[in-house]
Amino acid sequence: NKVVYSNFIQDIIDEDMKSGRFEGAVHTRFPPEPNGYLHIGHAKSICLNFGIAAQNKGLCNLRFDDTNPSKEEDEYVESIKNDVKWLGFDWDDRLYYASDYFDQLYEYAVQLIKMGKAYVCDLSADQIREYRGTLTEPGKESPYRNRSVEENLDLFERMKNGEFEEGSRVLRAKIDMASPNLNMRDPVLYRIMKVRHHRTGDKWCIYPMYDFAHPLSDSIENITHSICTLEFEDHRPLYNWILETLDVKCKSRQVEFARLNLTYTVMSKRKLLQLVKEGHVSGWDDPRMPTISGLRRRGYTPESIREFCARIGVAKSNSTVDIALLEHCIREELNLKATRVMAVLRPLKVVIDNYEEGRVEEFEVPNNPEDPNAGTRKVPFSRVIYIEQDDFCENPPKKYFRLAPGQEVRLKGAYIIKCESVVKDEKTGEIIEVHCSYDPDSRGGSSSDGRKVKGTIHWVSAQHAFEAEVRLYDYLFTDPNPGADENVDFLEQLNPKSLEVLKNCKMEPGLKDAKPGDMFQFLRLGYFCVDSVDSKPGAPVFNRTVTLKDTWAK
């Protein structure tokens, strides 16, 4: 599925290429901060950055934006590389870390000081905020704003050397405390953080702010178009100020697009981390998580995620996408690809009394009616089978076409059976066995006398079945916009029924050898995949990827 982005970003690129603003080819980057696992929102950014580069015969870098050591870890770096590759994108040899530029960034800061465009400020964080003013009120200049270049150079070097306490001093750009844009009111460029960095260790105790590091990292890498999300729109004047004030070779251009929001989903890394840390989910790759690793474990394919990203497109204003569209994308793919099998999740024993004891027949059934090349397989049938508890009703309502006393139903691909009697548990009254007769002339499922049997149900031969665990997933939240209401804790909106574990499901025997990642359609139930974490050879655990019912309104 080749994705062509014709959108406002491509228009901007066309304009820049025509005007000769940049020397070389289009060059983008995907710049994750390694402070968590990638989620479906990042997938949108990945598809966009790599997609835009590819369709303009350009390049896309992977850059770790690792300038805040307090939250960053190598585990995240590895998971991010893995997820980007899995999604189908390749940065070749263009893997970078903003932390590789710490020396250069320091030199740039020194340059700003020498130009009289940056100063060391001793105000506390609270004071800086207070002095900044508001949208309706101009800011107030810091009393340290007019320090001499020499004093600033000396103090900044001593900040670097670790002579001062965290929070006691920062380096700020000297721009305009009366600017209508708050980001231009002498923004902080460097802060003291006596924190070990996952790559540079203890070499640094001052770290650059995003607004300083990002434009310069872009420029160092010759990024032409720095695509980011809308919340950075009013940082753009600062982005440009830095690249215009300093003598840099590439004046990268920042372009903003709307971030992805999904119904029933939280996408903030802070909240996702909280879900993991507090054990509300089993980990970053819990199949209910909107992370790439969670979606993968759930049974989503890279193709389905790329297709989703292509369908949502890119826009300049924020909106929320219906999660049903994401489900639609995987359903559509699996409908074409997934092998159909029979599994009984909540088994009810059915004895076919007129079927000879010890007799076994095999029925040949198609693997996928949507795919003529998918072939067939043999499914064993015998006197005792399992059907779903739901497919039997002792006192059926009108138009109940499944199994009921005196009523016939077709066993998929096998015979028509009729319910003759039931056996109940003496104590609980619960039906524990259904006794049926079968019509020997209905082999394959059609009656010889032309009588109509409306219902067809799935089944598994008891003596051939093996038991497996199946996990049914639902949305992690009950609210369509979890966390949207500031007065409600998003954890209170967790769906208590987001995971249902069924331990004694009866599976068609061929499924025993299913391998992690294999995908199936369980007839009438949904699409399922073999869990990649908890499955063992010969003992697969199945995750429901998505139900069969498509709620996406086209």
Where on the chain is the footprint of ligand ATP (CB under 6 A)?
31-33, 41-42, 44-45, 65, 228-229, 259-260, 267-269
Nearer residue to ligand ATP within complex by CB, 138 or 313? 313
Min CB(113)–ligand ATP separation in Å: 28
Name the burial class of residue 273, with classes exposed (0-12), middle (13-18) and buried (19+) by CB atoms within 10 angstroms of its CB.
Answer: middle
| Binding site partner of 229, from ligand ATP, Mg ion, none, Cβ cut-off 5-8 A by kind | ligand ATP
Q: Is 43 annotated as a binding residue?
A: yes
Element (H, E) at 468: strand 466-473
Min CB(126)–Mg ion separation in Å: 23
Q: 3-state DSSP call for residue 311? A: helix
Nearer residue to Mg ion within complex by CB, 33 or 322? 33
Torsion of the alpha carbons at 420, 424, 426 and 428, rounded to the nearest 10: -160
Q: Is 508 annotated as a binding residue?
A: no
Q: Is 268 annotated as a binding residue?
A: yes
Nearer residue to Mg ion within complex by CB, 119 or 207? 207
| Binding site partner of 42, from Mg ion, ligand ATP, none, Cβ cut-off 5-8 A by kind | ligand ATP
Residue whose C-beta lies closest to Mg ion: 33
| Binding site partner of 294, from ligand ATP, Mg ion, none, Cβ cut-off 5-8 A by kind | none
Catalogue the E-assigned strands of 370-465: 376-381, 384-388, 408-411, 416-424, 431-438, 456-457, 460-461
Min CB(33)–Mg ion separation in Å: 5
Nearer residue to ligand ATP within complex by CB, 45 or 217? 45
Nearer residue to ligand ATP within complex by CB, 255 or 436? 255
Min CB(269)–Mg ion separation in Å: 6
| Binding site partner of 41, from Mg ion, ligand ATP, none, Cβ cut-off 5-8 A by kind | ligand ATP
Min CB(257)–Mg ion separation in Å: 14
Min CB(210)–Mg ion separation in Å: 7
Q: Is 259 a catalytic residue?
A: yes
The CA angle 288-325-314, to the nearest 5 degrees, is 105
Q: Is 454 annotated as a binding residue?
A: no
Residue whose C-beta lies closest to ligand ATP: 41
Buried b (16+ CB within 10 A) or exposed e, 4-24: ebeeebbeebeebeeeeebee
Nearer residue to ligand ATP within complex by CB, 320 or 389? 320
The active-site residue out of 33, 151, 332, 420 is 33
CB 470 within 8 A of CB 528: yes
Q: Is 39 annotated as a binding residue?
A: yes
CB 30 within 8 A of CB 49: yes
Q: 3-state DSSP call for residue 127? A: helix
* Cβ-proximal residues to 240 (8 Å cutoff; 6+ apart), any chain: 215, 254
Distance CA 507, CA 437 (A): 23
- Which positions from 156 through 195 interact with Mg ion, judged by CB under 5 A? none
- Which positions from 18 through 57 interact with Mg ion, judged by CB under 5 A? 33
Distance CA 227, CA 9 (A): 9
The active-site residue out of 94, 140, 259, 443 is 259
* Cβ-proximal residues to 421 (8 Å cutoff; 6+ apart), any chain: 405, 434, 435
Distance CA 367, CA 375 (A): 6
Q: Is 99 annotated as a binding residue?
A: no
Name the burial class of residue 406, with classes exposed (0-12), middle (13-18) and buried (19+) by CB atoms within 10 angstroms of its CB.
Answer: exposed
Q: Is 486 annotated as a binding residue?
A: no
Buried b (16+ CB within 10 A) or exposed e, 136-147: eeebeebebeeb
The active-site residue out of 29, 132, 185, 269 is 269
| Binding site partner of 340, from Mg ion, ligand ATP, none, Cβ cut-off 5-8 A by kind | none
Distance CA 284, CA 51 (A): 26
| Binding site partner of 94, from Mg ion, ligand ATP, none, Cβ cut-off 5-8 A by kind | none
Q: Is 464 annotated as a binding residue?
A: no
| Binding site partner of 32, from Mg ion, ligand ATP, none, Cβ cut-off 5-8 A by kind | ligand ATP
Q: Is 239 annotated as a binding residue?
A: no
Q: What is the DSSP string of 341-386?
A: E-EESSEEEEEETTSPTT--EEEEEES-TT-GGG-EEEEEE-SEEE
Nearer residue to ligand ATP within complex by CB, 307 or 518? 307
Nearer residue to Mg ion within complex by CB, 66 or 327? 66
Q: 3-state DSSP call for residue 171? A: strand
Strands 343-344 and 526-530, sheet pairing = unpaired
Please report where in the chains the tokens 């028509």 appear, as a residue. Answer: 416
Q: Is 224 left (phi over 0), alpha (psi -120 to 50) or beta?
A: alpha
Nearer residue to ligand ATP within complex by CB, 41 or 287? 41
Number of H helices and E strands in the chain, helices first, is 12, 27
| Binding site partner of 413, from ligand ATP, Mg ion, none, Cβ cut-off 5-8 A by kind | none
Q: What is the DSSP string of 469-511?
A: EEEEE--SBSSSSTT-STTS-GGGGB-TTSEEEEEEEEE-GGG
Min CB(223)–ligand ATP separation in Å: 12
Min CB(80)–Mg ion separation in Å: 12
CB atoms within 10 A of CB 423: 12
Size of the site for Mg ion (CB under 5 A): 1
| Binding site partner of 416, from ligand ATP, Mg ion, none, Cβ cut-off 5-8 A by kind | none
Q: Is 173 annotated as a binding residue?
A: no
Q: Is 507 annotated as a binding residue?
A: no
Min CB(272)–Mg ion separation in Å: 11
Distance CA 330, CA 337 (A): 10
Q: Which residues carry a binding-site annotation?
A: 33-35, 39-45, 65, 210, 229, 259-260, 267-269
Show which residues are catalytic.
33, 259, 269
Q: Which residues carry a binding-site annotation for ATP?
A: 33-35, 39-45, 229, 259-260, 267-269
Instruction: List interacting residues with Mg ion (CB under 5 A).
Output: 33
Q: Which residues carry a binding-site annotation for L-glutamine?
A: 65, 210
